[in-house]
Amino acid sequence: MIIKILIGALLVFMIYNLFKAMTVMMKDDPNQPPMSKFIGRRVFTSALIVILILVAVATGLIQPNPRPY
């Protein structure tokens, strides 16, 4: 159960960074951090989620759906 909560929290963090990058792009304020900082966090979070899911499936913490159709 903790793995699912952690994945959900990481997904929320990823969406937050996506919208934060959008606001930085729309404002174009030179005093704010660059948009690439937030996009980079989003990409890193996506990779972390994929690795976490793969490790959780490999160790048996979560089970994939046996018949997805």
How far does CA 68 lie from the centroid of its chain? Answer: 23
How far is Cα 29 from Cα 33, in angstroms, rounded to an integer? Answer: 9
Whether 11 is covered by a domain: the verdict is yes
| 28: containing domain | 2-45
Contact 46, 11 (CB under 8 A): no
Tell me the pLDDT tens digit for each residue of 9-67.
999 999 999 999 999 888 878 888 888 898 999 999 999 999 999 999 999 999 888 88
Structure tokens at 7: 């994945």
Whether 63 is covered by a domain: the verdict is no
Greatest extent of the chain over all pairs of C-alpha atoms, in Å: 51
Residue type, 20: K
Whether 50 is covered by a domain: the verdict is no
Q: How many domains does the chain have?
A: 1
Rounded to two decimals, the pTM is 0.81
Whether 39 is covered by a domain: the verdict is yes
Whether 25 is covered by a domain: the verdict is yes
Does position 1 have pLDDT exceeding 90, yes or no?
Answer: no
Whether 53 is covered by a domain: the verdict is no
